[in-house]
Structure 1
């Protein structure tokens, strides 16, 4: 039975579920971490298991030819957008969008080729050929687990996979059912590991009605308390849970994160709220801290007072559009992601910086980078950090904030987070 707020493939609406995944270090014994030249030797610490970073895309001829293996490339996807002119493509690109899923059949692929944008989907018309540079991936289907029985859904995906043109990677999005205890682990694992090269789950924590239900139902692999349901941390734990499912077969694939740019609900009676600009930025960053390899924006607002079938296009064409603050937040956080893509695209290190923190540690170009937010269930405020002993630098740049901090002789420093969705990125020299 489909749940309130679910969207079919054609309805363009969202919903999905998440929970906490076992720590990355716990999986390091069951998965051999992929090696990459981009992994620095400067930090003698355990590494977080990954699928290989940018080098993963070398296995797919079209993605490789399109530059997806470049460490400076990070996929940011508009879900069901439309492009009918170079100006529209340029506007989306100015927001940090570089990829589309879902387009009208009238789309001329040369628009995407000329704009340096990419398409994940089927052959829309005769302009799409094996030589279309922008056509890098194949969209298998959306929320199959919510529309079929497990056996029927697997047969459906297997048939679609057989139709996939050579050279493309296969992508599918699922509901949160594959991350819940209501579905058998065997069925969920077969969905996740049987058909795709890239995978996502949609769960719009800030705007779905589920977080407000009384009584609150909690069917997650690792529980999320109701008090922390509408927080950025829930988006990161969706990634964790999907990683847990994905790890079962001993191979990893890129996991992408869905974030609503307005709301993820299409039922007017179930509508609660829109995501705020600060929450949007926090949801994206927490997903990346939890090793998301791509971001997808649910680009429709189908309930509440600020509706649009294409939020990005409404922002382009209407100066007074009520969703403009959220679209500005998309641009702001995407700018940071693209700026730091060569860092984000390296393999992360395992390190506990201190209590009440949710962090990701990277090293690139002689610097360590610490991406930090407050952990789930902890109040905003001051946090104490402990740098690994391998990091000898003591002057810390707070990236994009025009300020710096100093660590003491033991590598300790303190900073503050004014809300649960706040994040800071610290840059410090590894050598003194």
Structure 2
């Protein structure tokens, strides 16, 4: 096991520390200039003892929204090797979440703000930060096990299907790492499942209100680990068809298609395979079924907005 946080008594050259988790949501605790200065000073102190390890920081959603100009976001991004943002779209209130784009503002509408497609849009904007910098650095995301604010008129509780769907939406849009938020600290009387450590609550205290979500977290972690050799390869650009969010990989003689729907829509989707890829069937990974291919195309169902499928195609 490896960690981005060093135990108190570990030596400076602790082998289980490949990188440093520098700080969390600095952009929400300082002014713009003060936050950048804080990051640079903290990293300078870390590098003095632990040169060679990568640096990672998590930011608030403000850095990819209309709250922060692109030049501010770039300055924060440039302080570390790896960036993530904590966007809890499924669980949070359907506020005016407007994601910044080079063309202006891209509202996350009330029809899609509490759906997997909101995470996809956030990842796209994070990719645009790299594009504006002209430097590609790994982008991570922070999924949540429970709603940080409980369940009331503004916030929804997480469900097992949502726990999984947020992760697949992130990965399909090139998140290179996931860091779980495992607390539910807010909401007061509206939060019957308040928790400082959801995993401990389930494992040690057998807390019923979060048991299914933690089980789903374990399941999606196992799925991602099993597919890690595929996920860690280069992605290829291909348009499989309208209404699809996809990621295409090639590994060990097979193509892998990771797929969800765009904009929280549901129903059947038809996939057009790349030229020269001519299988008779495709395997649906983890679902114990195959789909026939006809004239280079196949069709599958996406009954709810959280549905995701992974297809394996022999090359």
The alignment status of 1:249 with 2:133, answered yes or no, reads: yes
Q: List per-residue Cα deviations over 1:293-351 (Å, max 9, x = no partner).
A: 01111010123111211001111112343101001111111111111111111111111
The alignment status of 1:384 with 2:270, answered yes or no, reads: yes
- Any unmatched runs of 5+ in structure 2? none
Q: What is the SS of the residue equivalent to 2:166?
A: helix
State the partner residue of 1:136: 18
Identify which of 80, 83, 88 aligns with 1:199. 83
The alignment status of 1:166 with 2:51, answered yes or no, reads: yes
1:128–1:135 CA contact under 8 A, matched in 2 = no
The alignment status of 1:230 with 2:114, answered yes or no, reads: yes
State the partner residue of 1:352: 239
- Greater relative contact order (Cα 8 A, min sep 6): structure 1 or 2? 1
1:23-34 pair list within 5 angstroms? none
The alignment status of 1:366 with 2:250, answered yes or no, reads: no
2:82–2:138 CA contact under 8 A, matched in 1 = yes
**Counterparts of 2:20 and 2:180, CA distance in 1:** 18
1:281-360 pair list within 5 angstroms? 281-302=164-185, 303=187, 304-360=191-247
State the partner residue of 1:427: 312
Normalised by the length of structure 1, the TM-score is 0.68
Q: What is the SS of the residue equivalent to 1:426?
A: strand
Give the CA deviation at 1:274.
1.2
State the partner residue of 1:74: none
State the partner residue of 1:34: none
Give the CA deviation at 1:137.
1.5
State the partner residue of 2:39: 157
**Counterparts of 2:182 and 2:232, CA distance in 1:** 25
Give the CA deviation at 1:217.
5.6
**Counterparts of 2:152 and 2:260, CA distance in 1:** 33
**Counterparts of 2:169 and 2:137, CA distance in 1:** 19
Give the CA deviation at 1:167.
2.5
1:182–1:219 CA contact under 8 A, matched in 2 = no
The alignment status of 1:188 with 2:73, answered yes or no, reads: yes
**Counterparts of 2:253 and 2:99, CA distance in 1:** 44
1:289–1:360 CA contact under 8 A, matched in 2 = yes
Q: What is the SS of the residue equivalent to 2:62?
A: helix
Q: What is the SS of the residue equivalent to 1:369?
A: strand
Residues 217, 388 of structure 1: CA spacing in aligned structure 2 closer, same or farther, 3 A cutoff? closer
**Counterparts of 1:320 and 1:259, CA distance in 2:** 20
Give the CA deviation at 1:233.
1.4
- Any unmatched runs of 5+ in structure 1? 1-116
2:97–2:107 CA contact under 8 A, matched in 1 = no
The alignment status of 1:413 with 2:298, answered yes or no, reads: yes
Q: List per-residue Cα deviations over 1:159-180 (Å, max 9, x = no partner).
A: 0110112132111111111111
1:394–1:428 CA contact under 8 A, matched in 2 = no
2:61–2:86 CA contact under 8 A, matched in 1 = yes
**Counterparts of 2:7 and 2:132, CA distance in 1:** 35
Give the CA deviation at 1:372.
0.6
State the partner residue of 1:260: 144
Greater strand share, structure number = 2
**Counterparts of 2:307 and 2:97, CA distance in 1:** 27
- Count residues with an aligned counterpart: 304
Give the CA deviation at 1:390.
2.6
**Counterparts of 2:12 and 2:153, CA distance in 1:** 44
**Counterparts of 1:217 and 1:312, CA distance in 2:** 29
Give the CA deviation at 1:133.
2.0
Cα RMSD over matched residues? Answer: 1.7
Q: List per-residue Cα deviations over 1:139-185 (Å, max 9, x = no partner).
A: 21111111111111111111011011213211111111111122222
Q: What is the SS of the residue equivalent to 2:143?
A: strand
State the partner residue of 1:398: 284
2:126–2:139 CA contact under 8 A, matched in 1 = yes
